[in-house]
Amino acid sequence: MSGSVYKMIELVGTSEKSWEEAAKTAVETAGKSLKDLRVAEIKTLDMRIENNKVVAYRAKVSLSFKYHTG
């Protein structure tokens, strides 16, 4: 019987539209170079502000993917 191992990384995605788009950007960008993505957990949400206006939404995402050896 063999088990699986998963690695966790944290990413920050950004969007001018929404936190959902920011999180999606982080996951989809990671998916271009990582394989077997499994679970994404939103850790924190924040906004970047300039001249008293929101200019960007940011989502810190904890992302797991299956760890392959060899």
C-alpha neighbours within 13 Å on the C-beta side of residue 59: 20
What b/e sequence results for 9-38 when a residue is b if at least 16 CB atoms lie within 10 Å of its CB, and e otherwise? eebebebeeebeebbbbbbeebeeeeeeee
Location of structure tokens 């200019």: 55
What is the third-level CATH fold of 7-66?
Dodecin subunit-like (3.30.1660)
**Segment (H or E) for 53:** strand 53-66
Dist CA 50 CA 24 (whole Å): 23
pLDDT of residue 59: 98
pTM of the model: 0.85
pLDDT, tens digit, 9 for 90 and up, residues 9-68:
999 999 999 999 999 999 999 999 999 999 999 999 999 999 999 999 999 999 999 987
